[in-house]
Amino acid sequence: MLKVENLDVWFGDPPDRVHAVQGATFSVAAGESYGLVGESGSGKSTILRAITGLASGWSGRIEVGGEVVSGGHRSRNFHRSVQMVFQDPYASLHPRHSVDRVLSETLRLQGMDGIDGRITRLLEAVGLGQGFRFRYPHQLSGGQRQRVAIARALAAEPRLLLLDEPTSALDVSVQAEILNLLSDLRRERGLTYVMVSHDLAVVAHMCDRLAVMRSGQIVEEMEAASLRSGRVGTPYAGELLAASSSYRREAG
Amino acid sequence: MTAPLLSIRDLRVAFPTRQGVFEAVRGVSFDLGRERLGVVGESGSGKSMTGRAILGLVRPPGKVTAARMELHGESILNLPERRMRALRGARISMIMQDPKFSLNPVMTVGQQIMEAYRLHSGQGGRMARDKAMEMLNAVQIRDPERVFHAYPHEVSGGMGQRIMIAMMLAPDPEILIADEPTSALDVSVRNEVLRIMDRLVAERGMGLIFISHDLNLVAQFCDRVLIMYAGRVVEEIAARDLHQARHPYTRGLLDSLPRLDHPVSRLSVLERQPSWRDEEIATPFPGGL
């Protein structure tokens, strides 16, 4: 479904050029869920942005569903099959557009018909009733907003969803609801996920395989099961695992 | 048992709204000694508002009432702003979540720490400078000379949070209220910042109120935990026993976390009970103080 080969992403011009991603290579099969973990600045979100064409300077090869993309331009077909959900649902929803407008605009842009019926079905799919249809973002809780953002991503009937820290702005109880929703949607619709998160437990719960990133490079690829059992291949992955699983008081 | 640093009974914070009075904090009571007290709960549970009320930072029309709010036996409830300012920073300090919004962007780090110290100690420039350097050392900044002359945008998030701690600690407060001090930080940096706070509590005998939504972190870092729901404390428990918590709300929060060592196909979802808003707390005050 997704093949990334030798991806380099940079920002700025020399001599101040920053190489955010260097030589990243991974592939994700259709129906699989793949995680990218690492600390802030490790380049995990930048990979998603390069895939969707939001990062202008990149080289390497990105293939989505058999289609090789180039530069910052993406075809109509690409936007139909790939959608992204961002971390902060408040920042990613227009504050003065109602849920109805957000969804109908997206559907119209995708050239869909029967928009009214589709909105009803989308809201149902993400567990929001019709009562939410004419609300504005400020009238929704964080979890409800993220549900709207997911509904918007689903509007195009994509096959690949790029999830950039979809629950890190939410309370743990709401996080559980959203993660369950994402699991259900993947099963029902046969979706492929690439999920970026700093939370190893969330990635282990959601993904089959994952890549550990550090300063722009993928240092290790592993199965979620290996992460759970602590069978990691590189010292850095081990450190990350130890640091995130516990805080230990100094002896004495 | 020694007298508590801070003693609070029936703290209430209310805001008038068009739909009537909204109570953000509804009768919170606790004593704080020289310990790490965790306050956990979801957003909107009133945990941050409790911290702000102690510091007198609730703005009108918000109203703070309490049967008792005492620092060393001296009432600090609704003090006039001038007296509150003398207290705030000097005896009770607060660290906020994101250093980016708490540091002055157009002042160097050194100037800011010196200002904080001078205001509260009345000491002159030389002393303040020494103190600022000492504080930067205390929070383990490797190159204090460089950081002293740096502006906030020139330091990383973890460094910024350490600078905030340095600034808050310069006047030697008795109580530190830390509101999600590590939520914006990476795990490796997070543990360093926690270790620094940990040591300060141990060495200076400070009382720490650690406000967080992260139950695992609080269980490992704190001595005692208050769990808040809808403006009330629903359970009070020793941090090491947190995973054996009895209140269904605490249990629900714990169970909704994905865990590395315990794979599940679906996460359990919290079923909120209306009774949690008002029933008696699971470990009634003054149980285990």
ipTM: 0.81
Residue B197 has pLDDT above 90, yes or no: no
User: Residue B30's pLDDT is what?
Assistant: 94
Tell me the residue type at B271: E
Residue B6 has pLDDT above 90, yes or no: yes
Distance of CA A192 to CAs A29, A77, A97, A152, Å? 8, 16, 29, 17
Residue A170 has pLDDT above 90, yes or no: no
Q: Is residue B53 part of a domain?
A: yes
Would you call the peptide bond into A158 cis, given omega within 30 degrees of 0 as the criterion? no
The whole-angstrom separation of Cα A230 and Cα B249 is: 31
Q: Is residue B56 part of a domain?
A: yes
Q: Is residue B122 part of a domain?
A: no
User: Residue A202's pLDDT is what?
Assistant: 93
Per-residue pLDDT tens digits for B101-123:
788 999 999 998 888 888 887 77
Q: Is residue B36 part of a domain?
A: yes
Q: How many domains does chain B have?
A: 1
Would you call the peptide bond into B144 cis, given omega within 30 degrees of 0 as the criterion? no
Section B130-150 average pLDDT: 86
The whole-angstrom separation of Cα B215 and Cα B209 is: 14
Residue with tokens 């780090």: B109
Tell me the whole-structure pTM to 2 decimals. Answer: 0.85
Interface check B19 vs A, CB under 8 A:
no
Residue A236 has pLDDT above 60, yes or no: yes
Per-residue pLDDT tens digits for B228-246:
999 999 999 999 999 889 8
Section A139-146 average pLDDT: 89
Q: Is residue B115 part of a domain?
A: no
- Tell me which chain B residue has its CA closest to the CA of residue A40: B186
Please return the burial class of B156, using the count of CB atoms within 10 Å of its CB with bins 0-12, 13-18 and 19+. Answer: middle
Per-residue pLDDT tens digits for B14-50:
999 888 889 999 999 999 999 999 999 988 899 999 9
Domain that holds residue B30: 1-87+224-289
Interface check B199 vs A, CB under 8 A:
yes
Edge-to-edge, what's the strand order for the sheet holding A160-164? A82-85, A160-164, A192-197, A33-37, A209-214, A217-223
User: In this complex, which of B43, B221, B258 lies closest to A201 when CB atoms are compared?
Assistant: B258
Q: Which fold has domain A2-244?
A: Rossmann fold (3.40.50)
Q: Among residues B89, B84, B82, which one has the least CA distance to residue B117? A: B89
The whole-angstrom separation of Cα A206 and Cα B260 is: 11
Paired strand residues for A26: A4
Highest mean pLDDT among A26-35, A72-81, B127-136: A26-35
A56 in helix, strand or coil?
Answer: coil
Q: Is residue B35 part of a domain?
A: yes
Q: Is residue B39 part of a domain?
A: yes
Section A75-85 average pLDDT: 91
Name which residue leads in pLDDT, A176 or B192: A176
Interface check B106 vs A, CB under 8 A:
no
Domain CATH code at residue B46: 3.40.50
Phi, then psi, of A188 in degrees rounded to 5: -65, -40
Interface check A83 vs B, CB under 8 A:
no
Q: Is residue B173 part of a domain?
A: no
All residues of chain A having their beta carbon less than 8 Å from the beta carbon of residue B194 are 247
Contact assignment for B195 to A250 by CB distance below 8 Å: yes
The whole-angstrom separation of Cα B190 and Cα B203 is: 20
The whole-angstrom separation of Cα B208 and Cα B213 is: 16
